[in-house]
Structure 1
Amino acid sequence: MKRSSSRFASPRRVLLAGASLSLLIPAAALAQSETGEAERPEDRDVIIVTSSVLRTTTDEVTGAVEVVDQRHIEDNLAGSLADTIAHEPGVSTTYFGPAASRPVIRGLGADRVMVLVNGTGLIDASTASPDHAVQSEALEAEQIEILRGPAAIAYGGGAIGGVVNVIDGRIPHAPVDGLVDGRIYLGATSVDEGRTAAARARIGAGPFVFTAEVMNRTAEDYDIPGYAESELYRLLEEEEHHDDSRPAVALEEDDHEDEAIGTAENTWLDTQSASVGVSLVQDWGFVGIAYRSSESEYGVPGHAHHDEEDHHDDLLPSFAAAEAEEETVYIDMVQNRWDVRGEVDLPGGVPLDSVRFSLGMADYKHTEIEGGAVGTLFTNEGWEGRVEGRFEPVTLGAGTWEGAVGVQAFRRDFAALGDEAFVPASVTEDQGIFTVQRWDAGDWGLEGGLRLEQRDLSSVAGDRDFSTVSASGSVFFRPVRDQFFAVTLSRSERAPTDVELFADGPHPATSSYEVGDASLDVETALSLEFTARTPVFGGDLEAAVFRAEFDGFIGLFPTGAEIDELPVFEFRAVDATFTGFEARFERELGQLHGWDLSGELMAEYVRGEIDGGGNLPLIPPLSISGGLTASTDRHELHASLEWADVQNETAAFELKTQSHVLANARWTWQPFTERDVRFILEGRNLTDEEIRVHTSVLKDRLPLPGRNFRAAIVYSF
């Protein structure tokens, strides 16, 4: 098929142009700033990045960071956590249906992107397979912090690609303003007859703050604009099953009579969670404990079971399963979790200024139900804890020095039992120690970090242990007011996971037979990143250009063999390179008939290549989006367009993905001055376009939902 026409000659040319723009912008911004025409307001909000060990503000972080607040989450709610933040620069989603999606950052996912709750791991099974849901909901978050690029210094090798940290507020860190406060969210969606309800309350009782929270999300199978299978996939199926003895019309009728049209089958969900917590809040800090229980049932789309009479050839890509007899499959998931968190300001006379700590303990299990019978049981029991100590800032030479040290450890006992237990039971133990130091002289400064980590993996298939060292160094500059530029060089190491080492069995989620390699060694990434935050052309620009060279990148690659009618994929290490950029430009546009106008432009691109030739799979294409907002004291209108280019820089076993344009619009109304009540009316995919996410293994059998309208009410008290 022809590539979509565009004014952009090629993604490679766009990448070069983006890099050049990021390097040229400082000069233009400097000229504007000197005249005072492009300075941002002095009273702008200062946002502390909780995920930063040094508690740095968003304007001062040396890497690329995005902080999403609660109102932004409510306005852009799109089901799962990953789908809700997928519109942020550099972020995409694995999209295995509306229940099971995981964030992808700069083309990296699974164990290379760490999803955290208040700085500790989820202790679920979401990294083991794309059909396993993340145990965190977007509506539970007060704030979501996205660290793009290596964050392995503070969080270990599992953050070699980035971090998504959900700050949920179940353990309060501040007193209640008054006796009680809270929030209620009620919403409904048309495309899936979805219903969502969430409520949170905090009650102050002297120095104690009590919290309670409930959330429920249900949906039926969602509507799609046409076939569930992509056009190219259907053409290959027709070619595979072609029979010259039948007329062409009969061929077409037979080939498509059982295909899903208009509805994405088995995409229903029913999930709920409840939590309680209590904190002691004093002048010296806080300490608290919380308990959360969650249950979820959801259909697994595209879950195919192959019978012995199925025959396949090499026409169809392995990640898009060929014709198969399918049974209804759904997952029944339960997690119970305890969390303890605190932060204590230490008295003078000691080197440390403050200490914060967190501990999470969870019991997780999910059962895959196939045709009414139990198929496979996954369990994960474990704990994770970390302690961070921040030093009192001191004057050192012409600048100020501050630093922090920390320790982190976890233990996870993972098991899979049943017909589709493609990985044996294993125990993973991990311990790490790290430090981050920063020297700031005002106009410029230095930041560096070091982490030492030890991982021990034991399984019936064998035992392995790994020692990793990660380090980073940054130079940052502030040429004039409101400008911040940084160059960061980092070397990050990641130990292999139990799946990568010991997998040996059929994996229906990827329609393949997966084989691990117990001899795999540590994966190393050498990354260089340039970050800019600067006023330019009357607005604010944040941009990053990056390159990461992987030595021993562990991927899943086809062997050409078959076992039980499934193509065999094996984990092996290759050298690979990721190159790309992301940028966001925001500007106030003045007033029109009493409405304040503002605009936003975003662009992102990443290229994943195997050194020596070939492309890595599941890499998102170039995308560009723009939005226009008009607001008054009580109303806000927002319209956006997102264009994604065709992705034809594919791996050998992938089909290309066509380009698309996603059109959204939203109206928010706050009718009362004395009460914080907001009404939200949103339309997504207004043109009812067929949209497929290239980072999803199901993208040729499962498009995104069609035209959807959401109505919601949010009451904060």
Structure 2
Amino acid sequence: MTAGGEVREKMGARNRKVSGFFCSPYHTRSAAGMGRCFGGRPVPDHHTCRRQGRGGEESMQLGSRNVSMMDVRRSILTCKRTVNTAHSMSMLSPQRSLRQSALAPLAQSSASAWEPSGMTLSTPWRIMIPPLIDTDIAFIALRLLIPLMVAGGLLLLVSVLPVRAADDSDVHRLDEIVVTATRSAARSFDVAAPVAVVDEKRLAETAPASAADALDEVPGVSLVRGGSWEAHPVIRGLGGSRVLVLYDGDREVNLWSGRAPLTPFIDVGSIARIEVVKGPASALYGTDALGGVINIITKEVDFADSDTWRFENTVNGRYASVDEGWFGRYELAAGGKGFGFRLGLSGRDANNYEDGNGDEVNNSHFENRNLDFKALHNIADNHRLTAAVRVNEIDDMGVPQKDPTAPFSHFDHFDTGSYKLGYEGRELGLFDEIQARLFYVDQDRAFAGYLPSPSQPVYTLKTNDIETSAAGASLQLTVTPGAAQQLIGGFELVREDSDSDETQVIHRNKDDSIAKRLTFQPVPDAERVHFGIFAQDEITIGNRLTLIAGGRYDYFTADADDVTFTDERFDGKSKLTSTTASINRFSDESDSAATFNLGLVYALTEHLHLTGTVGSGFRAPDIFERYSTRGGGVIYIGDPNLDPEYSYNFDAGIKASYARFRGGIDGFYNRVDDYIDTVRQAESFISGVPTYKYTNVQDAELYGFDGAAEVLLTANLTLFGTVAYVVGEDRDSGDRLSNIPPLNGTLGARWEAAAGDRLTYWFEAAGEFFDRQDHPAPGESETAGYATANLRTGLRMPALGPLHDVMLALNVENLFDKYYRSHLRLGQSDFIPEPGCNVITSLRFSF
């Protein structure tokens, strides 16, 4: 203890379960038990926290006071503290009741008493080991030597270390703090909407290649992929632009990122956690949130509140056997005296992956570079400025084709730049919190492909370039009239634009002569402007009931230039013989929508909550659907007169949070009116080519359930499982909707123990199953069910010589090298199988 009677304990963002409330990363605790949070305000510390070493298991003891989950909820609401995200950051109020003072250690605790998994109930664990069949000795050595050395080292270490059981006496589990479900900090246990979180600990343990891979364990979330890298999520049967993906709470959605939002536009090494809200959220977030919201939250800036400048370096590496993929990241965090920044540099290089039969999937490679930078400046106790830059350059991303012999099919660049400024203020007269943000994101993608025809003696050389951008501004205000009420309101303004060019040249196989050339703009020079204003009131009634009511109004305008589609024909000597042109004429359009949400949480007991929501959602047609003119063998054209999609959702669930059991299950019904799809037209747009048009075709309904649970059998052994089921139907015809995942789930066990204060280690085994999809949509085929087995193991060490926060992990996915296809790749199911056995090793350390 220093002369001033103060002890500093590291509470870095990566070690905080209840991350942030903007406590200093170097939290100062005085001899009298007083802590100082951001802004210098004292936080009484009436209870003690127990930690099992830096970076390891953490727990919190409440002493003689038995604090209910509802009390924690109120404490968070009243004190106006928030997590370290771009969505929400607040300072502690100087006035505090005795109850709030007693709860202060809860808000400061970085983890719960029992945390064998380090993740939320909705993220199951999977485990795997390396394939042992290969005829090339050198390749076997490359593929297996590193994983076997890692595994041998882990076994050697844990075999000589004593096992220490977790102490679960007289402790309470504190659920994750989330911000996406209500636009403010709240425990996931206390929010009405179904929420899942993939936290930083889980991301480090599983070492996913992308944000899409990280979501693979969340019940109710499925993925539609084009190869390994281009992906879009499906939540409860709704996918594509019906799921809104946010980056640090901002709508960085432009034309293409909205269509495949989980393409690796962001380095997974920069992500702190991913929050998933299942079900319509348009009352808070506007268009595209029909199926739900995925908020990818990046790591916060450390050390800004330190009295002196501090620096920390972090190195992260990963190797995957299935595609011989390498990943490396260097990160520098620095700050002090009110200023801080985080800088990350990374690169990834992956070859084509192998399927379960050992065959290489052509054009499934990937290569990119990434730079991300975040900075903040505390200009005063209650005022903060933030800035962020992210530059992601995908230099080569393969796109698998039906003919596996296609010489090339790839994006030779797919570059993204994101630039942000923000202001956050606290205790400004009437307003407890003000958040203002500006952002700009641009993307430039260029595709080149050699595409053999499956039925004709020709091949196509296709090139296109699509440029898109989005600029936005938002303001959010928070007012807390009393300890039991919180009001949030604000507005968003986003402008999107696009431009593109495409050329397709069809050559004859026999002599490579030109047969036909098509030139057009797949999307025109177009823009869409979106304005939304929203408000939400949350009030706690008595000790058991919390009600949430919210509403939003959105207004859209869209405009595009006319597009000319040109078809040129050539004779056997590549001489031009005819030219045909057709003009697709577009018009200005506008849409508006009002949406609402009503939610409740009823505390049956301190550990058991009933939840329910009733709400509406909507999705305005995007630029593709209104203004596209694209294709080759088939033409797709947009319709400016499309109506928005509307949905009405009902959700009911139960959540449990006990010392040895945690879980929840939700049932849902979602009705979608004016569902948009493509329909073949009687007349061809040009040259007799089959033509499909975007149309409001049907009224749909989706219903089902999803849930997850984990049970602590012993101090070290946890069982866990998830399940998800959804049915999607056309309400008029009774036909099933396309791209609906079958019944699926996971079941597994995890052993985690501490060996003194030196390290924590874990072993995890799980199986993932997908039932047969025997109710396909028209035009789809039935797909077989499948199951895969996975293994995970690793260790964490708080210190190792000059290093700290060391983590070594070994994961084996698809343990038995099973060959299978996903139903959600149905359009490609005859030529894109899933990856085979994949051995993943990862290492992370700081210094």
Partner SS for 1:223: coil
Question: Aligned residue for 1:609?
Answer: 729
Partner SS for 1:477: strand
State the Cα distance separating 1:302 from its structure 2 match. Answer: 3.5
Moved more, 549-558 or 164-173: 164-173
> 201, 204, 207: which is aligned to 2:332?
201
Q: Residues 297 and 330 of structure 1 are in contact (CA less than 8 Å); yes or no, is this contact kept in structure 2?
A: no
Q: CA 1:389–1:672 in 2, change beyond 3 Å: closer, same or farther?
A: closer
> 332, 345, 350: which is aligned to 1:219?
350
For 1:92 and 1:467, the matched residues in 2 are separated by 30
Root-mean-square deviation (CA, aligned residues, Å) is: 2.6
Question: Aligned residue for 1:346?
Answer: 427
For 2:435 and 2:268, the matched residues in 1 are separated by 24
Q: Deviations over 1:96-119 (max 9, x none)?
A: 122211222112122111111111
State the Cα distance separating 1:415 from its structure 2 match. Answer: 1.5
Q: Residues 213 and 275 of structure 1 are in contact (CA less than 8 Å); yes or no, is this contact kept in structure 2?
A: yes
Partner SS for 1:479: strand
For 2:611 and 2:774, the matched residues in 1 are separated by 33
1:490 aligns with 2:610: no
Query: Amino acid of the residue matched to residue 338 of structure 2?
Result: P
For 2:384 and 2:744, the matched residues in 1 are separated by 43
Question: Aligned residue for 2:294?
Answer: 164
> 525, 550, 566: which is aligned to 2:672?
550
Q: CA 1:130–1:353 in 2, change beyond 3 Å: closer, same or farther?
A: closer
State the Cα distance separating 1:285 from its structure 2 match. Answer: 4.6
Partner SS for 1:656: coil
1:406 aligns with 2:527: no
Partner SS for 2:241: helix
Partner SS for 1:462: coil
> 777, 781, 787: which is aligned to 1:655?
781
Q: Deviations over 1:203-247 (max 9, x none)?
A: 013110022111211100001123xxxxxxxxxxxxxxxxxxxxx
For 2:530 and 2:190, the matched residues in 1 are separated by 31
1:329 aligns with 2:409: yes
> 826, 829, 833: which is aligned to 1:699?
829
Query: Amino acid of the residue matched to residue 576 of structure 1?
Result: A
1:579 aligns with 2:680: no
The two structures have a TM-score, normalised by structure 1, of: 0.81
Q: Residues 660 and 713 of structure 2 are in contact (CA less than 8 Å); yes or no, is this contact kept in structure 1?
A: no
Q: Deviations over 1:238-280 (max 9, x none)?
A: xxxxxxxxxxxxxxxxxxxxxxx70110000001111223211
State the Cα distance separating 1:357 from its structure 2 match. Answer: 2.4
Question: Aligned residue for 1:246?
Answer: none
State the Cα distance separating 1:83 from its structure 2 match. Answer: 2.0
Q: Deviations over 1:36-67 (max 9, x none)?
A: xxx99744235321223232221111101112
Question: Aligned residue for 1:72?
Answer: 202
Question: Aligned residue for 2:437?
Answer: 358
For 2:793 and 2:763, the matched residues in 1 are separated by 5
State the Cα distance separating 1:73 from its structure 2 match. Answer: 1.1
Query: Amino acid of the residue matched to residue 280 of structure 2?
Result: P
Query: Amino acid of the residue matched to residue 659 of structure 1?
Result: G
1:53 aligns with 2:183: yes
Question: Aligned residue for 1:257?
Answer: none
For 1:641 and 1:617, the matched residues in 2 are separated by 26
State the Cα distance separating 1:565 from its structure 2 match. Answer: 9.4
> 628, 642, 653: which is aligned to 2:749?
628
State the Cα distance separating 1:391 from its structure 2 match. Answer: 0.6
Q: Residues 171 and 289 of structure 1 are in contact (CA less than 8 Å); yes or no, is this contact kept in structure 2?
A: no
The correspondence of residues 255-404 of structure 1 with structure 2, limited to 5 A, is 262-281=359-378, 283-303=381-401, 326=406, 328-331=408-411, 332-347=413-428, 350-371=429-450, 375-394=463-482, 400-404=484-488
Partner SS for 2:821: coil
For 1:338 and 1:105, the matched residues in 2 are separated by 28
1:600 aligns with 2:701: no
Who wins on radius of gyration, i.e. which is larger?
2
Q: CA 1:40–1:454 in 2, change beyond 3 Å: closer, same or farther?
A: farther
Query: Amino acid of the residue matched to residue 527 of structure 1?
Result: N
State the Cα distance separating 1:80 from its structure 2 match. Answer: 2.1
Q: CA 1:637–1:410 in 2, change beyond 3 Å: closer, same or farther?
A: same
The correspondence of residues 445-524 of structure 1 with structure 2, limited to 5 A, is 445-460=546-561, 461-506=586-631, 512-524=634-646
How many residues end up aligned between the 2 structures?
A: 614
For 1:531 and 1:416, the matched residues in 2 are separated by 46
Query: Amino acid of the residue matched to residue 417 of structure 2?
Result: N
Q: Deviations over 1:629-662 (max 9, x none)?
A: 0011121001110110011221111122211101
State the Cα distance separating 1:585 from its structure 2 match. Answer: 0.8
For 1:698 and 1:131, the matched residues in 2 are separated by 20
Q: Residues 53 and 436 of structure 1 are in contact (CA less than 8 Å); yes or no, is this contact kept in structure 2?
A: no
- Please list every run of 5 or more consecutive structure 1 residues that lacks an aligned counterpart in the other structure: 1-38, 227-260, 304-320
Q: CA 1:285–1:521 in 2, change beyond 3 Å: closer, same or farther?
A: same
For 2:595 and 2:446, the matched residues in 1 are separated by 37
State the Cα distance separating 1:344 from its structure 2 match. Answer: 1.1
For 1:126 and 1:606, the matched residues in 2 are separated by 27
Q: Residues 171 and 290 of structure 1 are in contact (CA less than 8 Å); yes or no, is this contact kept in structure 2?
A: no
Query: Amino acid of the residue matched to residue 483 of structure 1?
Result: L
Question: Aligned residue for 2:88?
Answer: none
Moved more, 184-193 or 671-680: 671-680
The two structures have a TM-score, normalised by structure 2, of: 0.69
Query: Amino acid of the residue matched to residue 366 of structure 1?
Result: R
Q: Residues 86 and 103 of structure 1 are in contact (CA less than 8 Å); yes or no, is this contact kept in structure 2?
A: no
Q: Deviations over 1:174-228 (max 9, x none)?
A: 64697123532101011101001122221013110022111211100001123xx
For 2:170 and 2:740, the matched residues in 1 are separated by 38
Q: Residues 80 and 100 of structure 1 are in contact (CA less than 8 Å); yes or no, is this contact kept in structure 2?
A: no
Moved more, 448-457 or 644-653: 644-653
Q: Residues 449 and 471 of structure 1 are in contact (CA less than 8 Å); yes or no, is this contact kept in structure 2?
A: yes
For 1:601 and 1:122, the matched residues in 2 are separated by 33
State the Cα distance separating 1:123 from its structure 2 match. Answer: 4.2
Question: Aligned residue for 1:683?
Answer: 812
Q: Residues 170 and 290 of structure 1 are in contact (CA less than 8 Å); yes or no, is this contact kept in structure 2?
A: no
For 2:688 and 2:843, the matched residues in 1 are separated by 50
Moved more, 411-420 or 600-609: 411-420
- Please list every run of 5 or more consecutive structure 2 residues that lacks an aligned counterpart in the other structure: 1-167, 451-459, 505-520, 562-585, 755-759
Q: Residues 293 and 337 of structure 1 are in contact (CA less than 8 Å); yes or no, is this contact kept in structure 2?
A: yes
For 2:617 and 2:303, the matched residues in 1 are separated by 32
For 1:157 and 1:520, the matched residues in 2 are separated by 15
Partner SS for 1:376: strand
Question: Aligned residue for 2:242?
Answer: 112
Q: CA 1:183–1:494 in 2, change beyond 3 Å: closer, same or farther?
A: same
Q: Deviations over 1:5-35 (max 9, x none)?
A: xxxxxxxxxxxxxxxxxxxxxxxxxxxxxxx
